[in-house]
Amino acid sequence: MKSTEPKLTEHVDMPDGSTTPVQIWSAEDPTAQLIMVWPGFGMGGYYYRPLASALNEAGFHVAIGELRGQGQSSAKASRKNQWGYNDLASVDFPRQIRAAKTALELADDHPMTFVSHSMGGQISCLFAARPEAEVLNLRSIFRVGAGSPYRPTFSPKMGKRMGLGSVFLGVIGGYILGFWPGKVWGQDFVGYGRQSGTHMREWRRFHKHNSLDNLAGQDIDYVQEMRKVRIPVTLTRCPNDEDCPEASIDALASFIPQAMVQKREIPEALGHNRWAREPESTVAVFLES
Give 55-70 pLDDT, tens digit per residue. 999 999 999 999 999 9
Query: Coil, strand or helix: which one is 72?
Result: coil
d(CA 234, CA 285) in angstroms, rounded, equals 10
* pLDDT > 50? residue 46: yes
Are the beta carbons of 230 and 258 closer than 8 angstroms? yes
Q: What residues make up the domain containing 224?
A: 8-149+217-288
How many domains does the chain fold into?
1
Residues 6+ apart with CB under 8 A from 134: none
Lowest mean pLDDT: which of 38-42, 183-187, 196-200?
Answer: 183-187
The pLDDT tens digits for 156-174 are 989 888 888 888 888 988 8
Tell me if 193 is assigned to some domain.
no
Query: Coil, strand or helix: which one is 136?
Result: coil
Query: Coil, strand or helix: which one is 174?
Result: helix
Tell me if 63 is assigned to some domain.
yes
Tell me if 210 is assigned to some domain.
no
Tell me if 199 is assigned to some domain.
no
pLDDT of residue 23: 98
pLDDT confidence bin for 210, thresholds 50/70/90: very high
Integer angstrom CA distances of residue 276 from 52, 64, 116, 123: 9, 12, 11, 18
Instruction: Say how many C-beta atoms besides its own lie within 10 A of residue 262's C-beta.
Output: 11
d(CA 145, CA 205) in angstroms, rounded, equals 20
* pLDDT > 80? residue 190: no
**Mean pLDDT of all residues in the chain?**
95
Closest to 92 (Cα-Cα) out of 228, 206, 199, 210: 199
> Which CATH number does the domain housing residue 95 bear?
3.40.50.1820
Residues 6+ apart with CB under 8 A from 157: none
Are the beta carbons of 129 and 222 closer than 8 angstroms? yes
* pLDDT > 50? residue 1: no
Amino acid letter at 60?
Answer: F
d(CA 229, CA 191) in angstroms, rounded, equals 33
Half-sphere exposure of 73 (CA within 13 A, CB side): 29
Tell me if 183 is assigned to some domain.
no
Q: How, if at all, do strands 138-144 and 61-64 pair?
A: unpaired
d(CA 278, CA 281) in angstroms, rounded, equals 8
Radius of gyration of the chain (CA): 18
Burial 32-45 (b: 16+ CB within 10 A, else e): bbbbbbbbbbbbbb
The predicted model gives 88-104 an average pLDDT of 98
Are the beta carbons of 37 and 115 closer than 8 angstroms? yes
The predicted model gives 173-191 an average pLDDT of 82
Rounded to the nearest 5 percent, the helix, strand and coil shares of the chain are 40, 20, 45
Q: Which run of H or E residues covers position 92?
A: none
Are the beta carbons of 281 and 110 closer than 8 angstroms? no
Tell me if 159 is assigned to some domain.
no
pLDDT of residue 4: 86
pLDDT of residue 2: 64
Tell me if 93 is assigned to some domain.
yes
Tell me if 208 is assigned to some domain.
no
pLDDT confidence bin for 3, thresholds 50/70/90: confident
Query: Coil, strand or helix: which one is 132?
Result: helix
